[in-house]
Amino acid sequence: VPLDYDRPDGKKISLTVSRSRATSPEERQGALVFNPGGPGASSMEFPLYGALAKWRKTARSYDFVGYAPRGVGRSAPLSCQDPKKFAKSPTDSPRYPGEEYKREKLAEAEEYARGCARNAGADLPFYNSVNNARDLDMLRAALGEEKLTFMGASYGTYFGALYATLFPGHVRRMIFDSVVNPDPDHVWYRNNLDQSIAFERRWDDWARWVAAHHSVYRLGTTVAQVRRAYDTVAEKLRRAPLNGKIGPGQLQGAFLKTGYNDAYWPSRAAALSAYLHGDPQPLITQASPHPENAKAAENGNAVYTAVECNDAAWPRDWRTWDRDNTEAARLAPFETWDNVWMNLPCAFWPDRSESAAAGIGAVAGEAADRAAARDGRDGRAGRAGRDEAADATGEQLAAAAGHATATGIDSALNPRRPLDVRTAPGALPPVLLLAAERDAATPYPGALELQRRLPGASLVTENGAGTHGVAFGDNDCVNRYVEAYLLDGKVPGERVYCAARPEPVADAHAQHKPKKK
């Protein structure tokens, strides 16, 4: 696909794609393309879902198509930092950070943004949501599909909505599962503030469930007592990291998953209880870093950062971030500041010329290093050697500069206002939105906003539930609507509601990971 769609004959990048054929050729309706979100997530494993019970009927009628979006995996991969540095542990996670800690995180964020620019150079601005939507249309064409059948979850709903806005005539069926708020005034800074508030509600949901099962977990009979138990563990780990690798940051990362999926509730409660009662092993199992995954994790984070920073203008003044998030943390201390640190590189994000210059500088530096190393090996630093290095450097600089010049007028307008997602009445076939009422990662108002912008869309709400990613999960009511839509094109009314899935069963020895759908 073109790196820059305003210059379709320019530089190309390759996307990796996976596919399984419909298991019943006579029932085949086409290809179903899936994106699980992120930004930075891959759906390369999606073809395997066809063997799972809840997907089996859909797999009879559709090829299952997964892919790694631009920047992810082997699809023109991005990297902003050495993976070992990215995955360093133990780390802290203060709920109310002091000024010195904030200064440290500001410096880290600025260096991370510079790393993205150094590594990607002039290509960096083209990793954005609009280009993800354009890539999706290229994938549709490559599959030989006249019109697209697409299921996007989480962030996948956002660039899916961009696709619907840009290519309404190419849409066959679309499912938006756990919907990002597409309002340009929310993308992405305001969305992250909303997310922090929503995670606090989910943290209370988990604590309330644990308190109701005090006889199993012995962590307290009230939300406040359960939260204090967690804070006690965090403080213990701050003073003495578990196994030398698990600090408050790793604890936070493990327990954040309780906000994404109820299936984590029993195992996390069991680990917290075991640690406080003298057995650290469950917490070691659940919160330990995985160095073998560091490269993939850093890649995913690099893509997340690049896409969100490129999509919209972010506040450049730290005082704005500090003011807004100090206020948010008064109400929602659980995730607010960690959310800030994850997104703070956007405050230092380079513009197009800065990223191009950084990339050219990196090329020059690498060439000089190679020349110095070669001179050292040969035991000489003669004029001929220097001239050879200069020639090689000149060629690479010319190539990099040429590409930077070619992108002077391009599809990467940074800073810019996000595309206004909306379609005219009748422009789209019926589409289906799914949302859990207490979803933290994509708060429920986002689904209402997208429905308003896509006239004729149907919204299925899972009342009182908060698991992120609703389709083909543990709610049979929701699954029936999804299946009817994919197989028969049937949509319910404008808005329909399903009762929440059953809460998980308390288990003092739970260690399982949530099963695949």
Higher pLDDT, 435 or 357: 435
31 DSSP β-pair partners: 63
Q: Per-residue DSSP letters for 78-136?
A: ---S-HHHHT--S----SS--HHHHHHHHHHHHHHHHHHHHHHGGGGGG-SHHHHHHHH
Q: Residue 230: which of 280, 199, 269 has the closest Cα?
A: 269
Residue pair 436/499 in contact by the 8 Å Cβ criterion: no
Q: Classify residue 3: in a domain, yes or no.
A: no
One domain for residues 270 and 198: yes
pLDDT at 512: 54
One domain for residues 155 and 59: yes
* pLDDT bucket at 371, cuts 50 / 70 / 90: low
One domain for residues 98 and 199: yes
One domain for residues 443 and 337: no
Q: Which residues contact 241 (CB under 8 A, 6 or more apart)?
A: 89, 90, 247
* pLDDT bucket at 414, cuts 50 / 70 / 90: very low
Cα–Cα distance list, 511 to 15, 326, 452, 514 (Å): 36, 35, 41, 10
Q: Classify residue 1: in a domain, yes or no.
A: no
* pLDDT bucket at 355, cuts 50 / 70 / 90: confident
| E strands, 458-511, in order | 458-462, 495-498
Q: Of the residues 375, 402, 429, which one is the last residue of a structural domain?
A: 402
pLDDT at 353: 72
- Which helix (H) or strand (E) is 63 found in, with range? strand 62-68
pLDDT per residue as tens digits for the range 283-341? 999 999 999 999 999 999 999 999 999 999 999 999 999 999 999 999 999 999 999 99
Enter the tokens of residue 23.
């298991």
Q: Classify residue 5: in a domain, yes or no.
A: no
One domain for residues 150 and 66: yes
pLDDT over 70, % of the chain:
87
pLDDT at 407: 37
Query: Which residue shows structure tokens 């390759």?
Result: 14
Residue pair 5/11 in contact by the 8 Å Cβ criterion: no
* Containing structural domain, residue 384: 357-402
Q: Classify residue 414: in a domain, yes or no.
A: no
- CA-CA distance, 478 to 469, in Å (whole number)? 11
pLDDT per residue as tens digits for the range 11-62? 999 999 999 999 999 999 999 999 999 999 999 999 999 999 999 999 999 9
One domain for residues 276 and 244: yes
Q: Of the residues 310, 330, 348, which one is the last residue of a structural domain?
A: 348
Residue pair 342/196 in contact by the 8 Å Cβ criterion: no
Q: Classify residue 412: in a domain, yes or no.
A: no
Amino acid in position 171: V
Q: What mean pLDDT is predicted for residues 89-98?
A: 97
- CA-CA distance, 383 to 116, in Å (whole number)? 35
User: Is residue 134 predicted with pLDDT exceeding 60?
Assistant: yes
One domain for residues 25 and 57: yes
pLDDT per residue as tens digits for the range 185-213? 999 999 999 999 999 999 999 999 999 99
pLDDT at 379: 44
- The number of domains in the chain is 3
- CA-CA distance, 67 to 45, in Å (whole number)? 8
- CA-CA distance, 480 to 459, in Å (whole number)? 14
pLDDT per residue as tens digits for the range 491-512? 999 999 999 999 999 998 877 5
Enter the tokens of residue 490.
């049937």
Q: Catalytic amino acids?
A: 154, 439, 468
Q: Classify residue 228: in a domain, yes or no.
A: yes
One domain for residues 224 and 362: no
Q: Strand 16-20 to strand 62-68: parallel, antiparallel, or no bridges (unpaired)?
A: antiparallel
The 3-class SS string of 313-361 reads: CCCCCHHHHHHHHHHHHHHCCCCHHHHHHHHHHHHHCCCHHHHHHHHHH
Q: Strand 171-179 to strand 148-154: parallel, antiparallel, or no bridges (unpaired)?
A: parallel
Q: Of the residues 368, 402, 436, which one is the last residue of a structural domain?
A: 402
* pLDDT bucket at 231, cuts 50 / 70 / 90: very high
Residue pair 126/411 in contact by the 8 Å Cβ criterion: yes
pLDDT at 412: 45
One domain for residues 301 and 448: no
Q: What mean pLDDT is predicted for residues 440-468?
A: 98
Compute CA 507 distance to the chain's CA centroid, rounded to the nearest angstrom: 30
Q: Classify residue 409: in a domain, yes or no.
A: no
- CA-CA distance, 153 to 161, in Å (whole number)? 11
One domain for residues 192 and 180: no
Q: Strand 62-68 to strand 148-154: parallel, antiparallel, or no bridges (unpaired)?
A: unpaired
Range from 392-406, 457-471, 488-502 carrying the lowest mean pLDDT: 392-406
Enter the tokens of residue 346.
């956007």
One domain for residues 215 and 89: yes
One domain for residues 138 and 32: yes
pLDDT at 351: 83
**For position 45, which CATH number holds?**
3.40.50.1820
Q: What value does the mean pLDDT of the chain take?
A: 91
pLDDT per residue as tens digits for the range 138-175? 999 999 999 999 999 999 999 999 999 999 999 999 99
Q: Residue 121: which of 357, 395, 410 has the closest Cα?
A: 357
* pLDDT bucket at 368, cuts 50 / 70 / 90: low
- CA-CA distance, 106 to 336, in Å (whole number)? 16
108 DSSP β-pair partners: none
Q: Classify residue 515: in a domain, yes or no.
A: no
CA terminus-to-terminus distance, the chain: 31
* pLDDT bucket at 364, cuts 50 / 70 / 90: low
Return the number of other C-beta atoms located less than 10 Å from residue 353's C-beta: 12
Could you give the 3-state DSSP secondary structure of residue 183? coil
